[in-house]
């Protein structure tokens, strides 16, 4: 009944590889007052669906406007009006492409004049079709042509006198949007902006306000009209930019997001004062928005205690439902950050997390949706609160809660934690999930995990036994490892991503002399990956037998055993060819000794040092050669690399105190007196050769 480790094979195999992708800081914006369903995308989606319906395509079919294809569909329907509309629309779209200016052929004066003539012809054509059944489409075409011709006043007039009377449709929405732009172009900025806000056209708003996003500019907007509809957009932009600046300090993020601007501490304080004024003047109908902005800025820049007091007031204030939700989310973040973890906290935070979880898509996942489509404001806020507040809060006091939070969030760190934590912690987590809930937090987490897709019971048991067994392997506790790994069938390993490596590689091969690269043919051969025994169990038994008999050995046979053990430790180290004994995946350049595992390379070096005491020249030469193997001492290499821009190549800078330098030097001393001469594997080693040249300088 070890169902809790719901780790899919693919997830496990890809786990350590995620390190290459970097870990995000989860700094989703918490101050978020509206859903960002950008107008342009929304329009494109709807018009595209309209075309699909017209052409008899399915909703899931791919569609890209093609004059030819739409005309063909129109012909089949004997729809002459649509044919002429599509033709004119295509002419208009061609001009739009030309205006983009990304072609090598820059237009001549004549071409520009021709472009204008074409636009005037389109406009005139559309004007004659305003009483047809496609009046909305033609009205839109008329306004589009006007827009490119710069006839903004005409567009204002057309909308106010004609198009505003049309029935509601996506075309009317687009005309309304062009009307807003025309208002802006003709100096009626505030009216235009209100429409952009109403339509969620944030691109246009950003174009208009790009250079007016400072405290001073927002103060001006507020003073002119405390209920200006653009204020939520401007305030959200300011507060989130402030967060970026704050995050940059905390997390050293770089690059930033589009439209970012630095907010200084002084400017943030000025904005806090404006927020206070807006609430106290009572001229706004959304005090919750101002109070929340104030609290969040205070939390980031000024006074956390004051922030807590202010956010607690914000949740009781008036505002849209989203503004009130936003206040509640930020209260959860601030209050949870500042309160001590105890039973009271668990009950309060558990209920709040349950609320936030239910608001997001995680609780009600929609099928066939991408990660981004699933991620609403509430999902992102949940993720941020787990990552930046809750996980740390429980890490030391109740680590099993942290793991459960990661699990509910869907964070891969949950698997990573289970993979690297102590055996006791894994068992504690199991007990937590199967035991009775004591607080609201427990109840929330258990219910949420229970609602997640469950794994087959036998698979879950195998994964659990393999996990515990592997943890004992990493601690070199062979008896315990054998006890757990004996319960895992070979078929389990046959299905692991590393089965091919396990089938073809041997832990007895000296890695400093022979690398076990796989041949191309083996990659594609089903037969090659067949396992006949459990690789981990076999290894554990072999090591148990070899190490437990050590005390009985003396002299040459003991030195030989030391060497043989060193070979095996080096092979199952993360840099060895048999890494799969200890880990599920390999990430070159990122792997290192993790918590709760023995440093296998260090143990290999210890054994090699003992083996090098032998008087047998052949074994001594092998041991000394092995001691200079770089993979066992990545931090003690004999030379460091420094980029030489003049040579456009790396220079090797000798590190004479490094462990590898000393090992190579010992090998050279030995070879000078080696009666049998230098072994072929030494003389053919390019690294040895390079070292010799540096050593003799």
Binding site for another protein (CB under 8 A): 101-109, 112, 244-246, 248-249, 252-256, 260-265, 301, 645-646, 648
CB of 588 to another protein, least distance (A): 24
CB of 262 to another protein, least distance (A): 6
| Comparison of 181 and 535: residue with beta carbon closer to another protein | 181
Confirm if 459 and 33 have CB atoms less than 8 A apart: no
| Comparison of 224 and 249: residue with beta carbon closer to another protein | 249
| Comparison of 62 and 371: residue with beta carbon closer to another protein | 62
| Comparison of 244 and 616: residue with beta carbon closer to another protein | 244
For residues 203 and 205, give the distance between their C-alpha atoms in angstroms, rounded to a whole number.
5
CB of 112 to another protein, least distance (A): 7
| Comparison of 107 and 226: residue with beta carbon closer to another protein | 107
Angle between helices 343-359 and 440-451 (to 10 degrees): 40
| Comparison of 6 and 263: residue with beta carbon closer to another protein | 263
| Comparison of 197 and 245: residue with beta carbon closer to another protein | 245
For residues 652 and 672, give the distance between their C-alpha atoms in angstroms, rounded to a whole number.
25
| Comparison of 252 and 526: residue with beta carbon closer to another protein | 252
CB of 212 to another protein, least distance (A): 13
Q: How big is the chain, counted in residues?
A: 697
271, exposed or middle or buried, with CB in 10 Å at 0-12, 13-18, 19+? buried
Confirm if 26 and 383 have CB atoms less than 8 A apart: yes
Neighbours of 203 (CB within 10 A): 13
| Comparison of 190 and 244: residue with beta carbon closer to another protein | 244
| Comparison of 256 and 617: residue with beta carbon closer to another protein | 256
CB of 258 to another protein, least distance (A): 8
| Comparison of 270 and 494: residue with beta carbon closer to another protein | 270
| Comparison of 107 and 617: residue with beta carbon closer to another protein | 107
CB of 248 to another protein, least distance (A): 4
Q: How does 280-315 read in b/e, with b if 16+ C-beta sit within 10 Å?
A: eeeebebbbbbbbbbbbbbbbbeeeeebbebbebbb
CB of 117 to another protein, least distance (A): 16
Confirm if 625 and 502 have CB atoms less than 8 A apart: no
DSSP-assigned beta bridge partners for residue 652 = 641
Angle between helices 399-409 and 423-434 (to 10 degrees): 70
Q: Which secondary structure element, helix H or strand E, spans residue 39, and what is its range?
A: helix 39-55
- Alpha-helical runs (H) found in 475-615: 478-485, 490-494, 499-504, 520-523, 535-548, 555-572, 600-611
For residues 235 and 531, give the distance between their C-alpha atoms in angstroms, rounded to a whole number.
62
- Concatenate the DSSP letters of all residues of 583-638 into one string: -S---TTT--PPTTS--HHHHHHHHHHHHTT-S-HHHHHHHHHHHT-GGG-TTS-S
| Comparison of 249 and 424: residue with beta carbon closer to another protein | 249
Sequence-ordered list of residues with C-beta below 8 angstroms from that of 640, at least 6 positions apart, any chain:
652, 653, 655
CB of 649 to another protein, least distance (A): 10
DSSP-assigned beta bridge partners for residue 650 = 643
566, exposed or middle or buried, with CB in 10 Å at 0-12, 13-18, 19+? buried
Which of helix, strand or coil describes residue 402?
Answer: helix
**In this structure, what are the phi and psi dihedrals at residue 499, rounded to the nearest 5 degrees?**
-55, -40
CB of 239 to another protein, least distance (A): 14
Q: How does 609-622 read in b/e, with b if 16+ C-beta sit within 10 Å?
A: ebbbebeeeebbbb
For residues 235 and 296, give the distance between their C-alpha atoms in angstroms, rounded to a whole number.
12
| Comparison of 64 and 104: residue with beta carbon closer to another protein | 104
| Comparison of 213 and 407: residue with beta carbon closer to another protein | 213
For residues 229 and 284, give the distance between their C-alpha atoms in angstroms, rounded to a whole number.
11
Torsion of CA 236, 241, 243, 246, to 10 degrees: -160
569, exposed or middle or buried, with CB in 10 Å at 0-12, 13-18, 19+? buried
CB of 120 to another protein, least distance (A): 19
Tokens at 668, concatenated: 């050279």
CB of 190 to another protein, least distance (A): 22
| Comparison of 255 and 677: residue with beta carbon closer to another protein | 255
Which of helix, strand or coil describes residue 510?
Answer: coil
Q: How does 367-401 read in b/e, with b if 16+ C-beta sit within 10 Å?
A: eeeeeeeebebbbbbbbbbbbbbbbebbeeebbbb
């Amino acid at each position: 009944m070890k169902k809790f480790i719901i780790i899919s094979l693919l997830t496990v195999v890809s786990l350590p590889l995620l390190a290459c992708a970097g870990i995000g800081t989860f700094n989703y914006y918490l101050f978020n007052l509206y859903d960002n369903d950008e107008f342009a995308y929304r329009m494109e989606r709807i018009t595209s669906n309209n075309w699909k319906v017209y052409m008899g395509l399915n909703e899931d079919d791919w569609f890209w406007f093609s004059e030819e294809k739409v005309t063909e569909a129109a012909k089949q329907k004997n729809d002459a009006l649509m044919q002429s509309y599509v033709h004119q629309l295509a002419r208009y779209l061609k001009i739009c492409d030309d205006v983009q200016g990304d072609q090598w052929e820059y237009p001549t004066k004549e071409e520009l004049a021709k472009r204008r003539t074409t636009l005037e012809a389109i406009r005139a054509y559309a004007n004659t079709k305003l009483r047809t059944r496609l009046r909305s489409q033609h009205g839109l075409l008329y306004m589009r042509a006007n827009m490119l011709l710069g006839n903004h006043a005409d567009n204002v007039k057309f909308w106010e006198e004609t198009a505003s009377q049309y029935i509601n449709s996506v075309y009317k929405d687009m005309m309304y949007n062009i009307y807003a732009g025309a208002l802006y172009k003709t100096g009626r900025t505030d009216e235009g902006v209100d429409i952009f806000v109403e339509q969620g056209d944030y691109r246009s708003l950003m174009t208009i306000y790009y250079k007016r996003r400072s405290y001073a500019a927002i103060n001006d907007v507020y003073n002119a009209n405390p209920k200006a509809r653009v204020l939520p957009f401007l305030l959200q932009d300011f507060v989130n930019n402030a967060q970026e600046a704050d995050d940059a300090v905390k997390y050293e993020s770089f690059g930033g997001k589009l439209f970012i601007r630095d907010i200084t501490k002084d400017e943030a304080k000025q904005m806090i004062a404006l927020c206070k004024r807006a609430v106290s003047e009572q001229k706004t109908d959304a005090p919750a928005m101002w109070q929340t902005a104030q609290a969040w800025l205070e939390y980031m820049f000024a006074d956390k205690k004051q922030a807590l007091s202010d956010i607690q007031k914000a949740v009781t204030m008036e505002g849209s439902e989203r503004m009130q939700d936003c206040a509640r989310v930020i209260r959860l973040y601030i209050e949870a950050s500042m309160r001590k973890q105890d039973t009271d906290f668990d009950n309060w935070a558990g209920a709040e997390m349950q609320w936030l979880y239910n608001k997001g898509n995680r609780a009600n996942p929609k099928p066939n949706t991408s990660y981004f489509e699933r991620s609403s404001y509430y999902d992102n806020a949940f993720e941020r609160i787990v990552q930046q507040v809750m996980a740390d809060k429980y890490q030391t006091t109740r680590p099993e809660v942290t793991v459960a939070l990661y699990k509910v969030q869907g964070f891969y760190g949950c698997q990573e934690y289970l993979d690297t934590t102590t055996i006791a912690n894994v068992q504690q987590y199991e007990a937590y999930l199967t035991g009775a809930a004591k607080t609201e937090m427990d109840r929330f987490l258990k219910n949420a995990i229970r609602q997640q897709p469950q794994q087959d019971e036998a698979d879950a048991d195998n994964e659990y036994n393999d996990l515990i067994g592997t943890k004992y392997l990493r601690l070199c506790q062979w008896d315990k490892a054998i006890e757990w790994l004996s319960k895992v069938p070979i078929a389990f390993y046959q299905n692991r991503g590393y089965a091919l490596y396990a089938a073809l590689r041997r832990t007895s091969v000296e890695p400093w002399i022979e690398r076990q690269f796989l041949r191309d043919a083996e990659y594609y051969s089903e037969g090659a990956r067949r396992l006949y025994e459990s690789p981990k169990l076999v290894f554990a038994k072999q090591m148990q037998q070899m190490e437990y008999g050590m005390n009985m050995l003396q002299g040459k046979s003991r030195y030989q055993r030391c060497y043989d053990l060193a070979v095996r430790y080096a092979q199952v180290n993360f840099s060895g060819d048999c890494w799969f004994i200890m880990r599920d995946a390999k990430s070159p350049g990122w792997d290192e000794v993790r918590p709760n595992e023995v440093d296998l390379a260090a143990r290999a070096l210890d054994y090699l040092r003992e083996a090098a005491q032998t008087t047998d020249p052949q074994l001594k030469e092998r041991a000394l050669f092995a001691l200079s193997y770089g993979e066992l001492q990545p931090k003690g290499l004999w030379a460091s690399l420094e980029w030489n821009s003049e040579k456009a190549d790396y220079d090797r800078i000798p590190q004479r105190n490094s462990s590898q330098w000393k090992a190579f030097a010992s090998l050279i001393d030995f070879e000078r007196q080696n009666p049998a001469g230098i072994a072929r594997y030494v003389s053919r080693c390019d690294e040895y050769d390079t070292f010799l040249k540096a050593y003799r300088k």
